[in-house]
Each structure stands twice: as C-alpha cells, then as structure tokens.
Amino acid sequence: MLDDERSKRDASTSAVPGGRWSRLARLGVLASGVAGSMLAEGTRQLAQGKRPRIGDLLLTPENAYRIADQLARLRGAAMKLGQLLSMDAGDLLPPEFGDILASLRSDAKAMPMSQLVSVLDANWGMGWDRRFRRFSFTPVAAASIGQVHLAETKDGRRLAIKVQYPGVRRSIDSDIDNVATLLRVSGLLPRGIEIGPLLLEAKRQLHAEADYLGEAALLGRYAGLLADAPEFMLPEVHADLTTESVLVMSGMGGVPVESLLHAPQAERDRVAGLLFRLLFREIFEFRLIQTDPNFANYRYNNATRQLILLDFGATRPYPAAIVDAYRRLMEGAVGGNRQEMSVAASAIGYFGADIGERQRQLVLDVFMHACDPLRYAGAYDFGNSDLPARIRDAALALSTERDSWHTPPADALFLHRKAGGLYLLAAKLKARVDIRALFLHYASRQLPP
C-alpha cells in the first residue's frame, strides 16, 4: 500500500515552471526585484548623505539571496548554470555572489506531489502505483535536474527512483541564455570575461544529464570498469521501469561520506585514498570521468567498508591527447619543471594566442599550487593545509589580467571541478593521503621519489 503522505509534504516544495514563458517570467520577476532593491538601497544611502556606487547597490545580501532563491525554484539549467559558475568562475565573481551561488550545489526545492504524480503517470501510465508495496512521495534528495524517491515493488525490490523535473530538457538552451543575459546586464559578471564556451558546454552537458537512458548506459559501463574493485559499490539499473525521464536503480543505503569525520584517522585516510586512486584510474586508465564532485554522490557502507558511488549523469570521456597532456603537466609539477608544464598546458588549451609571459607564469603558479599534494613526499595532510587559500590567491592574481583572460576548454574545467571537489572532501575529513605515490604509478618516466 502506498504511503499516505499528502498531508505531510514539506511546505518548502515549489512547482517547477514548465513552459518557456513561465520560466522567463520568473527571471523577469527576479530582475524587477533586484532593481527595486537597488532603488531602495540607493535612496537609503542618499538619505544618509552617501553617494552610492552601482556595484555596492547591486551586491547586497538581499539581492544575492534573491538570485539564488529564484534559480533554485527554476531548477534545471538555470540552477545548474549557477552551480557551474560558483565552481568554475568563483574567483572571477564578487565574493558575495559566489558564496550565495555555492549554496546551489546542495539546495533545491522539491516539486509538489501533484506534479510528481503527473510525471510518473506520463512515464509509467495510469495505475503505476499497483506495482509498488511502498512508494515514498517525500524525496530523499532534490537537485537541479530531478529528485530521488525510495520505493519497494510488490516483488520485493528496494529502489531509488530519480524523477526528472517537468520541462527541464526543453528549457535547457533558453534557460542558460536567459540567465547569462541577466547576469551580464546586471553587472554581476565582469564585462571582460568571455563565458561563451562555458555556456555552450553547459548546454551540451545538461542535455546529456537530462537523458536518463544515457545515464543508465554510462552507469553500466562504469560498473564494468570497476568490476575488479570490490571496495566500491554501484547501483544496478532496473530497465523495466527506467525511461528517458525516470531512472530506477537499486537502493543502496549507507551513510553520507562526510559523516566519517568522526571515524578513526586510518579509516578517513583509507576512504579519501580510495577516491583519489579512483580519480587517477578514471583519468589514466578509463579515460572516463564522473565529473560531479557533490558530496551526496558518495556514501559509505559501514558493514562492508565499501564506498557507494552514485549519479553518473555528468560522466564524460576524455581524449587520449588530453590525458597524455595532463600526465606531462603533473610530471612537470612533480619535477618542478615549469617549461614542461607550460608545453603541456598549451596542449590542453590553456593559453590563447595573445597570452603574455606574465599571464603564462600566473597560470603556471595556479597549477603549481594545485599540484602541491603531488609534489609532497609522503601523506599529504589536507586537514591542516592552506592549499585552498593559496589556490584562491593565485587565481585572484590571474583574474586581474582580464585583457588576456582565456577560458580553458570544457574538459579542463570539468576535470578541475572534480579534483577540487575531492580536495574539499579530503579537507573536510581531515584525511592524509600519499597523492604522489598514487600518481607515480601512472607516470610515463622515472621521477624523483
């Protein structure tokens, strides 16, 4: 019997606008609210005898929260673009705005039950509920593309069901264009920054993530690649219930990986080490990388001590030439050879034709800091490292050179997004991992110990 949860749904649910015009209207309301807030703040400052600047009027906490809230209500590409900008362009955004956008990486509003039922009716047909002994209408997770529900079929299968928000696929291109225009016109994005390549890649990536049949195929492929790694667990796809908009997998249980913060040091080190070893396998063996570093994509089975891997919508293949260039970049960092790093970075696509020597060296500075764990002999202590601050300072120095700023290729942005997420997780767990030893297994030549 289905759970009767109609009276229990959280009041924070919000219907997903499905039509193009209704989504555009949401953005219009957002723009009007920002403008109204600017007018009110300007009036207040003038009354105090101040001469306000436009930037100060725009970047108020109220406006930052207003923007994040509306993107979260839109979900889909609008919210995803906010996530991408918060991770990939965070050092180019005003700190107030970057901090609020960062909240989008974990916060989304669930759709109301009536909308959920409509989606399931469309995908499974009327009377779908007769297949289930239990179906929880309250989602256990809600993200930018869809939300996840737990259920049990009458034949005893315990399932995790990812249901895509209505209208997400058809709104991707217009959402990204509209939000980018809003951010440009508002001045929240610096005029000198060219985000066109990032927008194109965001569209391509989101169309892939919104194809749940494609994600199911990637999950199967990834599971095959990890058949020799019993320390990992992956869900099994249930093809009889999976559609383009509903992905049905075995329920995996486990606890959030960040809850291991209170586990013994050795266990935290082991878990972080497994994830970094997996990253090197993804890059150098599989050439297939799950690029979404959201902590929610990792859970832990305390009984079996296995890591549970979830969500393969952002999995992307990497060309052999890019993989080889990253190998050479890392080898150059380990050996302290900036010239070798420069050649490798050029092969990846980091330098535009008009790059100056100062800008080139600033980019290499960022790489040297980012590769600090590779260069360290022994277990790198992420919990006591100032690495994030050093990377941020180096990136800020680079961001001041906007005349020659060159947006890196999408493969680089998504790989850095994944690596950065693992750095943050390792820091949260206060883990110690010998990153250098893990990489040397894949180095193409002998490097100093």
**Positive or negative CA dihedral for 223, 227, 231, 235?**
positive
Q: What are the C-alpha distances in Å from 65 to residues 59, 62, 88, 92?
A: 10, 5, 20, 19
Q: What is the dihedral of CA 118, 124, 125, 130, to 10 degrees?
A: -100
> Phi and psi (nearest 5°) for 255?
-120, 155
Q: Which residues of the chain have pLDDT under 50?
A: 1-12, 16-59, 75-76, 78, 86-94, 96, 103-106
pLDDT computed for residue 44 by the predictor: 45
Nearest CA to 203 among 72, 317, 80, 289?
80
In this prediction, residue 444 carries a pLDDT of 79
What's the DSSP call for residue 282?
I
Whole-number pLDDT of residue 236 = 96
Please state, in angstroms and as integers, the Cα–Cα distance from residue 232 to each residue in 179, 192, 210, 239, 439, following that order.
38, 44, 25, 22, 20
Residue from 29, 31, 32 nearest 17 by CA: 29
pLDDT at 66: 56
Q: Are 210 and 145 in contact (CB under 8 A)?
A: yes
378: left (phi over 0), alpha (psi -120 to 50) or beta: left
Q: What is the CA radius of gyration of the chain?
A: 23
Predicted local distance difference test score (pLDDT) of residue 259: 93
Residue 309: closest CA among 235, 401, 242, 410: 235
Q: What is the pLDDT of residue 49?
A: 46
**Whether residue 292 lies in the annotated active site:** yes
Q: What is the pLDDT of residues 157-169, one digit of tens each?
A: 999 999 998 888 8
337-370: pLDDT as tens digits: 999 999 999 999 888 777 778 888 888 988 998 9
Structure tokens at 380: 């790198």
**Residue 295, pLDDT score:** 86
CA 231 from centre of chain: 24
* Contact criterion met (CB below 8 Å) for 152 and 134: yes
Q: Return the pLDDT at 358.
A: 83
Q: Among residues 292, 311, 365, 411, which one is catalytic?
A: 292
CA separation for the pair 373, 382 (Å, rounded): 9
How confident is the model at residue 337, as a pLDDT?
95
pLDDT of residue 445: 62
The token pair that represents 346 in the structure block: 């050029």
